[in-house]
């Protein structure tokens, strides 16, 4: 079998993430959910902004709240996506140089968590979680910063606010244990023409490199711009190809071994280190799942930005990344 054939047959789990779930975009979010349902994709990760630009509280949007309840009942997962999705007034960006550059180029109006101190970040996170509770929705354990942009101060605030998982553009991390899973991502930003062109180029690079051998992928959508237009349908066409090859829709919770019953909040019933595969540390505190290629989009203090490892022996579509890693560890131990 040729290398090309082997790559063609690679299958795994694909996370579909809908960003900027907020009352202002309810119609667009519903339209995207309908498009995905027509493809038989029902397990989604919905990144919810509790108070869009400080003027659209989630608790005051009963239609959207009911939609989210229905989605959770169908096995989807909710994640906290900032608080207002807007930088603090008059604040400057603080964080890694690459993150600041990305914010200026692609997310100058969205990089909320590059403008907050540790105390301000914790206050915003707690306020967002309280908004979920006021709306009668499950309290999420996962957080994704707007624009995937955050700094070290935010990481420190996350665990104090009770959040366990951090979603990045190219990975998702368990902050309790240090585990992380690479999630090479392609998608639609809903931004201006120049930014969208850059995203399309990045999409192609990710498809040609990371996604040819990755056991996990992410397809993300935004509701701005043309939420059901040609660029969105292009991403859905790629998703359809993955599904036709046997890839299975999943949530970020599924990647850590949580079932549909806990997908909304990812409230795992074990301690962070129970039944997990042994870890390796590339800089003393960042642990890497052995089943993935790890990528560091935030340009933080990793000594190694990428590590290639063996792929799972069994069908990856039937197991979570954590389960596959544990199974291999047991085989090696025996």
Give the pLDDT confidence of 206-253 residue by residue, as tens digits: 999 988 889 999 999 999 999 999 999 999 999 999 999 999 999 999
* Triad 280, 167, 152: Cα angle to 5°: 75
pLDDT, residue 248, reads 95
| Residue 307 covered by a domain | yes
Measured between alpha carbons, how far is 205 from 213 in angstroms, rounded to an integer? 13
Strand partners, 142: 165
| Residue 3 covered by a domain | no
| Residue 5 covered by a domain | no
| Residue 4 covered by a domain | no
Percent of the chain with pLDDT over 90: 48
Name, of 4-18, 267-281, 303-317, the range with top average pLDDT: 4-18
The whole domain housing 115 covers 10-333
pLDDT, residue 87, reads 59
Of 46 and 272, the one with more pLDDT:
46
Q: How far apart are the first and last CA of the chain?
A: 30
**Kind plus residue range of the DSSP H or E element containing 240:** helix 230-244
- Listed as own residue / partner, the contacts of 172-177 with beta carbons closer than 8 Å and 24 or more positions apart are 172/142, 172/252, 172/255, 174/256, 174/272, 176/272, 177/272, 177/273, 177/276, 177/279, 177/287
| Residue 1 covered by a domain | no
| Residue 296 covered by a domain | yes
In whole angstroms, how far apart are CA 187 and each of 48, 220, 235, 291?
Answer: 17, 5, 6, 23
Measured between alpha carbons, how far is 75 from 43 in angstroms, rounded to an integer? 5
Backbone angles phi, psi at 48, to 5 degrees: -100, 130
Specify the number of domains making up the chain.
Answer: 1
Answer yes or no: are the C-beta atoms of 167 and 144 closer than 8 Å: yes
CA 145 to chain centre: 10
pLDDT, residue 161, reads 92
Lowest mean pLDDT among 50-59, 65-74, 191-200, 318-327: 318-327
Residue 40 CB contacts under 8 Å (≥ 6 apart), including other chains: 243
Residues composing the chain: 334
Does 183 have pLDDT greater than 80? yes
Mean pLDDT of the chain: 75
Percent of the chain with pLDDT over 70: 66
Q: Which residue reads 């799942």 in tokens?
A: 289
pLDDT, residue 308, reads 27
Does 298 have pLDDT greater than 70? no
Measured between alpha carbons, how far is 248 from 257 in angstroms, rounded to an integer? 14
pLDDT tier, 119 (very low <50, low <70, confident <90, very high otherwise): confident
Structure tokens at 136: 């009668």
pLDDT, residue 67, reads 98
Answer yes or no: are the C-beta atoms of 110 and 83 closer than 8 Å: no
| CATH number of the domain that residue 96 is part of | 3.20.20.370
pLDDT, residue 98, reads 60
| Residue 133 covered by a domain | yes
Structure tokens at 320: 């979570």
pLDDT, residue 190, reads 86
| CB neighbour class for 185 (10 Å; exposed up to 12, middle 13-18, buried from 19) | buried
């Amino acid at each position: 079998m040729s290398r090309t054939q082997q790559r063609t047959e690679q299958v795994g789990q694909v996370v579909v993430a809908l960003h900027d779930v907020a009352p202002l975009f309810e119609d667009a979010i519903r339209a995207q959910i309908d498009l995905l349902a027509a493809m038989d994709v029902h397990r989604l990760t919905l990144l919810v902004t509790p108070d869009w630009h400080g003027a659209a509280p989630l608790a005051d949007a009963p239609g959207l709240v009911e939609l989210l309840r229905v989605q959770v009942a169908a096995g989807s997962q909710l994640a906290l996506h900032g608080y207002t999705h807007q930088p603090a007034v008059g604040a400057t960006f603080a964080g890694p140089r690459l993150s600041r550059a990305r914010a200026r180029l692609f997310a100058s109006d969205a990089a909320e968590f590059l403008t907050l101190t540790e105390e301000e970040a914790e206050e915003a996170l707690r306020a967002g979680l309280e908004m979920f509770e006021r709306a009668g929705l499950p309290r999420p354990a996962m957080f994704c910063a707007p624009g995937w942009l955050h700094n070290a101060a935010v990481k420190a605030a996350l665990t104090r606010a009770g959040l366990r998982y951090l979603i990045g553009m190219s990975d998702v991390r368990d902050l309790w244990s240090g585990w992380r899973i690479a999630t090479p991502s392609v998608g639609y930003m809903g931004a201006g023409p120049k930014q969208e062109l850059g995203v399309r180029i990045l999409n192609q690079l990710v498809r040609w490199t990371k996604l040819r051998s990755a056991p996990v992928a992410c397809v993300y959508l935004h509701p701005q711009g043309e939420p059901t237009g040609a660029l969105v349908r292009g991403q859905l066409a790629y998703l359809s190809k993955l599904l036709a090859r046997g890839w299975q829709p999943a949530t970020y919770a599924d990647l850590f071994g949580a079932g549909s019953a806990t997908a909304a909040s990812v409230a795992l019933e074990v301690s962070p280190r129970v039944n997990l595969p042994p870890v390796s540390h590339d800089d003393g505190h960042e642990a890497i799942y052995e089943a993935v290629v790890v990528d560091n989009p935030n340009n933080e203090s990793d000594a190694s930005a990428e590590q290639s490892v063996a792929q799972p022996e069994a069908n990856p579509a039937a197991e979570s990344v954590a389960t596959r890693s544990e199974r291999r560890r047991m085989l090696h131990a025996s």
